[in-house]
Structure 1
Amino acid sequence: MIWLTWRQFRAQTLAAGGALVLLALYLVYLGNEIRAFYDSRIANCAADACFIARLDLRAEYGDAVLGVGAALIAVPALIGIFWGAPLVTRELEERTDRLAWNQSVTRTRWLAVKLTVIGLASAVLTGLFSLLLTWSASRYDQVIGERFAALSFDSRNIVPIGYGLFAFVLGTVVGMIVRRTIPAMAITLAVFATLQLLVPTMVRQNLMPPVTKTVTVDSSVMNRGVGLNLKQDNTFEIRGYTVPGGWPLEEASPLYKPDGSPYTGDDAKPCLANAGDLADGFACTAAQNLHFEYTYQPANRYWSFQWIELALYVGITALLAGFGFFWLRRRV
């Protein structure tokens, strides 16, 4: 069965391997370019030169890193569409299921070997792609510091392995139920894309309880590019504050005075008189001892989130596979 599976699957394997080799060559080139930029302009920079260098790094390589990351997120979807969905439907549509599932090779054994061999290929393909991209973009990620951003998190380290496994088994099970290749492909893509939108926006941030801390608005906070926004109710909120490497869960936080009451436009009038001098305005605001509540996921939880989400997808994949065996034996 393993040899037969390889014979049937070798064209897809060779095509995927060839694409991965070409991609590896580009990622090695991109990684070396980013490292050269880092060594020449960022490694020993100081003050304003570092700020400008970071902007130039994002401008020069940001689109390339994001583009390759988006391609990696698309790979599991393609695996589900072209490897998973036709796996059973092809046998049913071509009427070869009775020949494939004969007395010496039961349908259960047939499916087990197919899921194991092709599932392993799916994990290896996405894992190698992710490993290459993680290495290539490591200096970029180190400087820009957005590892929790949806596109970055989904395309780095170990999480893509879970996506590849899940998409393949999802396509296989959908194909069993639908029994038609094209509809199965469409449904697989729709389900996988929906899940990839829901998990980063609604599920991931709740995998671990967030941390909330009280931040005092001092000169170090004011000099980190934050902005104060006056709302319609005449109270202020602060925007743009981040903890290095962390994942902020709120775009803005209400600003409070030392007694806990909201900071209002009337309270800000003394500092607005110094608006012509930015440094004096910052110093005036910092002297008012303001504070706000900041809710976030700390940077040291990154790998915990990676392992939890990988385990989540592997668990769902195992449940789908179990359902697939049941459906194949009882319904197909």
Structure 2
Amino acid sequence: MSAIALRGPERVVIHQHRRALWSAGALALMGVAVVVAAWLWASSASDTFAGSGCSVENTVRGCGDTVRAFLDTELRFSRAVDYAGLAMMVLPACVGMFVAGPLVGRELESGTYQTSWSQSVSPARWLAARLAVPAVLTLAGVSVLSAFSAWAWSRAKGTYYPRGDWYEREVYGAMGTAPVGYALCVLALGALAGLLLRRTVAAMVVTVLAYVPLVMVLNRVREDLWPTARFLGGDRPGGDAWPVDSGMLTASGRAIRLKDCSGGAGDTAACMRDRGGVTAFADYHPASHFWPLQLVETGILLALAALAVALAFRVLRRRHG
């Protein structure tokens, strides 16, 4: 989106906040460059180590420095991926704070919105511009960063210090469509907070306070957003499966879950057998459930975003006509 190609309030929004937008883009590019540089360094060190004849598990004399250098580069890349994942988790809060504070709250607090409204720009058009511009930029930027996070995670999985599994919060929340859903949802919540509070700092704080329970609740219910698969037998499903629940089935098919016999004295398996359990089971999400879980969670977030936007326009109409 270019300010040259835009007209009216959208162009004004970009012009007013061009420094913040350029700074955000520069920070994102710097982060990407750091992770890519760490990967290139680790790849070069891996190739050198492979041709050295040394081994991490069984080092021979004279290999100590080579092994340490190799492991150091692998660790640095893995840490860079960790920091990138953490940044993706924080990014929605930053987007929401920017909309709640500088984009909406400060305009209402300082009264500068009246200048726009006196120049044939209706309140609804004014708010629409302050939602549309960051929404388009967020959709484009976060989508690219999410794809990059998936690439970095896949590379880190093959190192000596592999990162977490796909279902772990820090990994899951940095890949797929969920980061976009969170960013757009918190963006809408930020606009609503700015309209309700009409104070820059207060709106930013409330937006962050709304983001935290949103993440906590969805992390808690995520495993139930898509039906689990069931594995029968004494072993657990392997691979990248996300174990959700386990226990035993009775002859009639009733499930006796592990939590029903946990916390007490004695053998858990014996407890379940005493209750009629005959066949062990494990409920899990295979790696193929990543996208169904992501899309359902994103749908919930977009529905919440739409609700917040509708409430924001309702508040605007009630207060300013």
Q: TM-score interval w.r.t. the shorter chain?
A: 0.7 to 0.9
Match of 1:320 in 2: 308
CA offset digits 1:35-94 (Å, max 9, x no partner): 55777889xxxxx97xxxxxx798664433222201111011111112333322212211
Match of 2:61 in 1: none
- Taking structure 2 as the reference length, what is the TM-score of the superposition? 0.74
How many Å separate the matches in 1 of 2:112 and 2:129?
17
Give the match for residue 208 of structure 1.
Answer: 226
Any conservation in 1 of the 2:35–2:77 contact (CA below 8 Å)? no
Secondary structure in 1 matching 2:17:
helix
Decide which of 175, 178, 188 is 1:159's aligned counterpart: 178
Letter in 2 for 1:11: R
Tell me the CA shift for residue 101 of structure 1: 1.8
Q: Paired residue for 1:126, among 121, 136, 142?
A: 142
Match of 1:107 among 123, 127, 131: 123
Is 1:310 matched up with 2:318? no
Contact kept? 1:158, 1:307, Cα under 8 Å:
yes
SS in 2 for 1:137: helix
Call closer, same or farther: CA 1:41–1:303 in 2, change over 3 Å.
Answer: farther
| 1:67-216 superposed matches below 5 A | 67-102=83-118, 104-141=120-157, 146-200=165-219, 202-216=220-234
Note the alpha carbon deviations across 1:175-215, whole angstroms, 9 max, x for none.
Answer: 11111111111111011011112211x22111112222212
Q: Which runs of 5+ in 1 are unaligned?
A: 43-47, 50-55, 218-240, 269-289
214, 218, 243: which one pairs with 1:248? 243
1:30/1:136 contact within 8 Å kept: no
Partner of 2:288: 300
> CA–CA distance in 1 between the matches of 2:151 and 2:294?
16
Tell me the distance in 2 between the aligned counterparts of 1:39 and 1:209: 43
| RMSD of equivalent CA atoms | 3.3
Q: Do 1:173 and 1:321's aligned partners in 2 also have CA atoms closer than 8 Å?
A: yes
Deviation at 1:171, TM superposition (A): 0.8
Does the 8 A contact of 1:65 with 1:137 survive in 2?
yes
Alignment CA distance shift 1:300-1:322 (3 Å): same
Question: Which residue matches 1:22?
Answer: 30
Q: Please tell me whether the aligned partners of residues 231 and 237 of structure 2 are also in contact (alpha carbons under 8 angstroms).
A: no
Query: Is the Cα contact below 8 Å between 1:163 and 1:313 reproduced in 2?
Result: yes
Contact 1:211/1:296 (8 A) holds in 2: yes
Secondary structure of 1:249's aligned partner: strand
1:273-330 CA distances to partner (integer Å, 9 max, x unpaired)? Answer: xxxxxxxxxxxxxxxxx96211111211111112222222122111111111111111
Distance in 1 of aligned mates of 2:93 and 2:76: 29
Secondary structure at the residue paired with 2:284?
Answer: strand
Q: Distance in 2 between matches of 1:197 and 1:38?
A: 38
Residues 27 and 62 of structure 1: is their aligned pair in 2 closer, same or farther, counting only changes over 3 Å?
Answer: closer
Q: Distance in 2 between matches of 1:148 and 1:294?
A: 17
Counterpart secondary structure, 2:226: coil
Check whether the contact 2:247–2:282 (CA below 8 A) recurs between aligned residues: no
Is the 2:164–2:171 contact (alpha carbons within 8 Å) kept by the matching residues of 1? no
Residues 165, 314 of structure 1: 8 Å contact kept = yes
**Superposition TM-score, scaled by structure 1 size:** 0.72
Code of the residue aligned with 1:321 in structure 2: it is V
Residue in structure 2 matched with residue 10 of structure 1 by the alignment? 18
Structure 1 residues 306 and 141: CA distance shift in structure 2, 3 A: farther
